[in-house]
Amino acid sequence: MKLKWKLLIAAVITLFIALNITLIFTSDKEINRVNYISKWTVANEQDLIETLPVAGMFMPKEEQFFYHDQDKGSFQGFLVEKGQAVESGTAVLEYSPENINETKSAFQMEIERLNQEVASLDQHISQMEKLLATSNTMPASSTGRSQQLQTPNDDSIIVQVEPFDSTAYIQQSIARDIENKELDKSKLESEIEKYEEMLTAADSSMIELTAESMISGTVKELKHTLENPILTIISNEKKIEGELTEDEVQQILPGMKVLVTFENSNKQIEGTIDTVSVYPEETPEVGKENSYLYTVQLSEPEDGTSVFGQHVNVKIVTNEVQGATTVPVKTIKHTDKKQVSYILGAGGYVERRQLDTGMKLDHTVEVQKGVEAGELVVLDRPLLIKSNHPFITPLSPTKNTKASYGDMSGMDIFKTISKGFLSR
Amino acid sequence: MSERVPLFRGLKQPQFVAYQLGKEEEVVGLWKPVVWLTLASIIIAGISAFFGIGSEYVSRSLPDLTRSGYEAYQTLFAAGQITWGLIWILLAIFIPSLFFWTILEVDYRKLLFVQLIISMIFLIEKLVFIPVHLFLGISAESNIFSLGIIAQTFTSIELIIFLLANITLFKVWAIILTYKYYRHLSERSPRFIIWTLIGFYLFVAVISSLLSYIKFENII
């Protein structure tokens, strides 16, 4: 064949094929297409838990400090030893009552002295009263007499002279004296009252001679030098404490769940974040890394096999969705601000679904709307995937199991083969 | 003639081979190429089935079956497809040669010889279709080498689409090549040869599209 003809034929053929290809993509009418899907997966239903791992340590939940209180008397001694277990209410410190006793004696003496004064006053008063009584029994004073007297003018006058009635005067002065003394007496009595009150106060402070522990725990340390705090008690109950970096602390809030695991065992305890410090542990400085304290309250009391200071791994749950429908991130196609996934649907057709997504964790993402758990999602998208068209899958001989063949009856097997035969 | 049937040469230099054939008294060594072609057909069918081409029927049950159940289903289906690959090539070799033997006065073996060469074209067609199908995501009706796409743009009648999709470039090539050979071998007029060839292939196309249309897999 001449070259010219050959070239012409080649050109025509190429044009024809090109026309067909163009029509596939540009025709208004849907051209029958088939999607070749080689990899797909199932949308799962699972719990998504996002955690932040940090280090933590067991610390006592509470600490009680005791200080030396001078007002309580002088320090007598410790009633417990370092490391001793104590219960709530156990006496741990003792104060000596010496000071108080001295004070009390002083008060007593003062009261006695005052009492004595009152007594002497009483005596005086009763004497006065006796005198008063007897003055009334004194005979009446002599009658008055009249006398004739000459005045310088030589007039004669008759002067009636009444004798002075001293009884009344004496009575009055005695009464006055009694009054004064009564006044003094009541002053003294109120002073006595005062001292008696002080005495009862001293008495009651005698009762508070011991200091008691408010928590059950162990004595952590006592200072014989009496440097304050002189006694520290730590509770048996434990909490977990640790430090967070600047970045971490911004994500953590009180109330977040935590899962605590131990170095060498599978044990896991749950807890919640109790406090998160808003101020760094050490004075912040520019250029220095700051760390912030956090504490965890355990949900179940820990079984006592762990010790204070034991290091644990703490996983703080920063985000959690229960029963989320999840798909791998790879299955989602991002177009024009939309998120789209393709499902292998009923009838052998590929369906296009628009998704609303939620929480993302590693390579998995939560799907809030668009895909149900159990649906098959296309993982390896062919370049020209088209929805509402049938799909085909390649054979995966490795996924064949003898069991599935056993399940099929001989008739089924024959039927399937013939279907393949007839489909050409 | 050499022992082997020059299958490839028969395609590339039909004039030469046809001329030789015309001169030849007797043709021998036909069985080997039959076996080769059969094997080739089985392999090509196997590759095609492996990729799941034509298995849309099976894909429909993917959401309903377990993975291993689905694979079993598809494997059996593939076995059926491969079996068809075996049968089909034999039909393609023997039926046309039988038909034309009745029409043209030519030695049957010579016709067989020609048909073996022509069958190569159909095998090539099948082979080429595999990557095209996978990369362009098209199905048999939308074969870019056929009139199927054009048919789909102006009609929705399935039967017509199937029929036109059967008319492919490769078939045209086959008809032209067969014509060249037959002209050398037969004394019948060229017109006669051409029209019977076209008629024959059209007839086959109609039967084929009818079979596709009926969709036996749904009936069984």
* A-B contacts (CB, under 8 Å): 186
Q: Give per-residue pLDDT as tens, A366-392.
A: 888 888 888 889 888 888 888 888 888
Q: Is the pLDDT of residue B2 over 50?
A: no
- Smallest Cα distance from B29 to chain A, Å: 30
Report yes or no: B155 at the A interface, CB cutoff 8 Å: no
Is the domain of A155 the same as that of A45? no
Is the domain of A192 the same as that of A244? no
Distance separating alpha carbons of residues A104 and A371, to the nearest angstrom? 87
Report yes or no: B216 at the A interface, CB cutoff 8 Å: yes
Is the Cβ pair B71, A404 closer than 8 Å? Answer: yes
What is the pTM assigned to this prediction?
Answer: 0.68
Distance separating alpha carbons of residues B90 and B75, to the nearest angstrom? 23
Is the domain of A255 the same as that of A401? yes
Total domains, chain A: 2
Q: Give per-residue pLDDT as tens, B93-135.
A: 999 999 999 988 888 888 888 898 899 999 999 999 999 888 8
Do you find a cis peptide bond into B14, omega within 30 degrees of 0? no
CB atoms closer than 10 angstroms to residue B42: 16
CATH of the domain at A195: 1.10.287
CATH of the domain at A264: 2.40.30.170
| 3-state SS class at A322 | strand
Nearest CA in chain B to A395: B50
Q: Give per-residue pLDDT as tens, A40-67.
A: 899 989 888 888 888 888 888 888 888 8
Per the prediction, chain B carries an average pLDDT of: 86
**Rounded-to-5 percentages of helix, strand, coil across chain A:** 35, 35, 30
Distance separating alpha carbons of residues A45 and A30, to the nearest angstrom? 36
**Which residue spans within A329-381 are E strands per DSSP?**
333-335, 338-344, 350-354, 356-361, 364-369, 376-378
Instruction: Specify the higher pLDDT residue, B135 or A99.
Output: B135
Q: Give per-residue pLDDT as tens, A249-275.
A: 888 888 888 888 887 777 888 888 888
A403 vs B contacts (CB less than 8 Å): 68
- Percentage of chain B lying above the pLDDT 90 cut: 30
Is the domain of A246 the same as that of A333? yes
Domain that holds residue A132: 98-138+145-208
The question of ipTM being above 0.90 is answered as: no
| 3-state SS class at A48 | strand
Is the domain of A184 the same as that of A44? no
Beta-strand relationship, A63-66 and A85-86:
unpaired
- Smallest Cα distance from B26 to chain A, Å: 28
Whether A359 is in a domain gets the answer: yes
Best residue in A12, A16, A17, A20 for a mutation probing chain B (most B CBs within 10 Å): A20
Is the domain of A165 the same as that of A287? no
- Smallest Cα distance from A326 to chain B, Å: 18
Whether A70 is in a domain gets the answer: no
Is the Cβ pair B84, A420 closer than 8 Å? Answer: yes
Domain boundary among A208, A228, A252: A208
Domain ranges of chain B: 7-215
CB atoms closer than 10 angstroms to residue A372: 12
